[in-house]
Amino acid sequence: MGPPHHLFLVTALFIQLACLPISAQQAKQTPSPPPAAKPAPIEDDQPVRVFTEEVRLPVTALDAYGHYDPTLMVDDVLVLEDGVAQQIRSVRHLAANVLLVLDTGGESSGLGGISKSTSLTRRVAEDLVRRLPQGSWIEILQANASTEVLQPWTRDKDALFLALKKKLISTKRSRISDAILTAAQQLNDRPEGARHVVLITDGVDSPGGKVDRAEAIKKLVAARATVHVISYTEFVRQKSENKTTAVSAGPRPISSDPITSTDPTQPPGSTRSPSFGVGIRFDPPMRKQRKAYENDVKKSQQVLSNVAVETGGKMLLPINSDEMLAQAGEVAQAIGSEYVVTYRPKRPLAEARPGEYRKVEVASRRVGLSLHARRGYVVPTPQN
């Protein structure tokens, strides 16, 4: 006779109860599936690679009336790089990075007041800062006997005005080539496509400088900035006219009056009526010095003009202080109206030779629209 039926039920229930803790313990010990792998976040202190395969090209758009066009689109732009059409990826505005290079050297050079004016340079710089778009990053670099950063990169216009008021000074010597080289270095960490340099200068170096002008200009062009020049060259030419002689007017000394000195009817030292004359005194050393300065001004004007054209900037030649102040507003408007056109070059930048220069041509696809840009760019060196 077999065991009672209820004994089987009790035994089965006991076995189930005995297994429950074991199952729960096993469930706790079973590892959960690992989460999906995620890329490691980029830390703020990690270096950022500046070298990319994207070219950012500053472009100015003008309508049929010569006004800045605010409606530029991707389909309006044709870019040729070394003769090959590129595919435009975007057209946009970026916050400008504007480096002001203020030449205040050589004012007291003994040229009779025909050189630069520090007070005028200050007024032009103040007006330019005032008119630049809000949100622009601005730095002030002073160029005289040495090169000095008066105000590092900032968006605080009050700080810029204070630096111009308190720190801008004049010296007898100018090292503008040193300042141009420093300007190129100061742009290295600024965003591509939105770099601007504004030079207020006559472009003349005092003797004794150690920086080669051609090398400094080459570095500035390679910095891929748009260079605008408010030049003193025509201004000082206007001031130098008729400055090579000293002119005086007034009563002529009796000893030099041919009539009085030979008139026997008059007592010695007297004459019938006052004798007046104009005396002209030539100053050969001063004339030679001014001539040399004017030749340097002429050469520098050509160099600065070439830089402005190459980089797509403005070369402005005011002849007086009123024009110079007005043209500060013109430069500010050009900077604020500039677009940044981006494209991925069909010939990869990574394949470029060190220091390779690529020619760029920009044309409009829209009737009545004209586009203005730099003539080319130096392929940047990879930065790790």
pLDDT in tens, the chain (384 residues): 445 444 444 344 434 434 444 334 443 444 444 443 333 332 333 333 444 789 999 999 999 999 999 999 999 999 999 999 999 999 999 999 999 999 999 865 545 556 789 999 999 999 999 999 999 999 999 999 999 999 999 999 999 999 999 999 999 889 999 999 999 999 999 998 999 999 999 999 988 888 999 999 999 999 999 999 999 988 877 776 645 444 445 555 555 545 445 555 656 555 555 555 555 455 676 677 777 888 888 888 999 999 999 999 999 999 999 999 999 999 999 999 999 999 999 999 999 998 899 999 999 999 999 999 999 999 987 764
Crossing angle of helices 118-131 and 157-167, in 10° steps, is 180
Q: Which residue has the tokens 């030979």?
A: 262
Conformational region of residue 110, where left means phi above 0, alpha means psi within -120 to 50, and beta covers everything else: left
Please tell me the predicted confidence (pLDDT) of residue 296: 85
Please tell me the predicted confidence (pLDDT) of residue 208: 84
Helices and strands: H and E segment counts in the chain: 9, 16
What residues does 281 pair with on adjacent strands? 246
The answer to whether residues 55 and 352 touch, using CB atoms and an 8 Å cutoff, is no
Tokens of 67: 């006004």
Neighbours of 333 (CB within 10 A): 14
E-strand stretches of 232-285: 245-251, 276-282
What's the rounded Cα separation, in Å, for the pair 280 and 246?
Answer: 6
What's the rounded Cα separation, in Å, for the pair 338 and 335?
Answer: 5
Conformational region of residue 19, where left means phi above 0, alpha means psi within -120 to 50, and beta covers everything else: alpha
The answer to whether residues 133 and 336 touch, using CB atoms and an 8 Å cutoff, is yes
Please tell me the predicted confidence (pLDDT) of residue 226: 97
What's the rounded Cα separation, in Å, for the pair 363 and 384?
Answer: 35
Amino acid identity of residue 179, one-letter, is A
Please tell me the predicted confidence (pLDDT) of residue 113: 55
Please tell me the predicted confidence (pLDDT) of residue 198: 98
Please tell me the predicted confidence (pLDDT) of residue 328: 95
Please tell me the predicted confidence (pLDDT) of residue 5: 47
What's the rounded Cα separation, in Å, for the pair 51 and 125?
Answer: 33
Q: Which residue has the tokens 């829209």?
A: 366
